[in-house]
Amino acid sequence: MKQYLNKLMTGQSLSFVEMKEASELMLSENISDSEIAAFLIALKAKGESVEEMAGLATTLKNKAHSYQRPSTGITDNCGTGGDGSQSFNISTTAAFVIAGAGEKVAKHGNRSISSKTGSADVLESLGVALDFSTDEVEELLNENGIAFLFAPYVHPKVKRIGKVRKELKLPTIFNLIGPLTNPVPLETQLIGIYRRDLLEKMAQVLKLLGRERAIVINGAGYLDEASLAGENHFVLLDKGNITKHAFHPSDVGLHVYENNEIRGGSASENAEILLQVLQGKEGPHLTTVLLNAGLSLYATGRAGSIEEGIRLARHSITSGAALKKLRFLQTYSNDRKRGMIV
């Protein structure tokens, strides 16, 4: 690790291979907590490169529970967090809408870190299990089109690094790469990021990781979601090409709402918002989900435009398909708890 630390401290970036090797060391028992902390701080001070982010993400995926591709066309929609908006669980709600529109969603998430309620918190409140086995995830993706992967469960070797990060109380590379570490092989992805200056860099990382098509979005007010409050900026990765775009909600036929109108609360409060959206209750929560689900459907290529994606997302809700995806997960989790699934 010393050679990598020396390199970072002189302002040099690590190659993809070097970062993979350094990441392997961080996950081993042959390194101290202080060395891990020093590495993370040195990396932060230098500024994380595309190859460093991709190298760490690759190592974390390789060290996670192993998932074979259940079928083709798996996607995920996830934000980095860190925008301070305290919004409700937008991407988690949108995931059911995306699945209801016909995409297979391996939803990767965690408990609350920078928001009041994380995806795991709200799903747990709804009775969804957090510890699905690899076989169960593959079964759920094939039968239901959506499964949830609880990050600490699928990444058991990262626990020690989590302890170091809590002691540091500083943002590190791990605050950026969460959405990149989904262990299920993904073909497409929507990533929300709170830093607009990293849009293209994140797209380059996704390209290096082999995504066929992806969108990285930074919303109005610097949300790590698409926002109804004003202009949104995103980059599109499509077959290796990266292009920059921007749009206003009015450009895609949606009403404008301020970001404070989509604030969330406790896990139970956010669970109620999620249910109301999937049941079609009109308002800023539903419209926000339509925008984000529509953008994700455009990212996967199912929709040819954001507007078409929004139409598909609305049909997913009005037809009851999105809610049906949630009910399947709830029933499956309950049956599993009662020992009816082995």
CATH number at residue 97: 3.40.1030.10
- Tell whether residue 270 is among the known ligand binding residues: no
Residue-range definition of the domain harbouring residue 82: 74-153+184-328
- Tell whether residue 10 is among the known ligand binding residues: no
- Tell whether residue 90 is among the known ligand binding residues: yes
Q: What are phi and psi of 130, to 5 degrees?
A: -110, -5
- Tell whether residue 104 is among the known ligand binding residues: no
- Tell whether residue 114 is among the known ligand binding residues: yes
- Tell whether residue 91 is among the known ligand binding residues: yes
Q: Answer left, alpha or beta for residue 108, where phi above 0 means left and psi between -120 and 50 means alpha.
A: beta
In the beta sheet, which residues pair with residue 243?
Answer: 236
Kindly state whether residue 61 falls inside one of the protein's structural domains: no
Q: How many domains does the chain have?
A: 1
Full-prediction pTM beyond 0.75? yes
- Tell whether residue 111 is among the known ligand binding residues: yes
Q: What digits encode the pLDDT tens for the residues 221-249?
A: 999 999 999 999 999 999 999 999 999 99
Distance between CA 224 and CA 292 in Å, rounded?
11
Kindly state whether residue 208 falls inside one of the protein's structural domains: yes
**Helices 284-300 and 306-318, axial angle in degrees (round to 10):** 120
Distance between CA 184 and CA 200 in Å, rounded?
23
Q: What digits encode the pLDDT tens for the residues 298-341?
A: 999 999 999 999 999 999 999 999 999 999 999 999 999 888 77
Q: Judge whether residue 187 has pLDDT over 70.
A: yes
pLDDT classification of 67: cutoffs 50, 70, 90: confident
In whole angstroms, how far apart are CA 7 and each of 11, 45, 59, 141, 158? 7, 12, 20, 43, 24
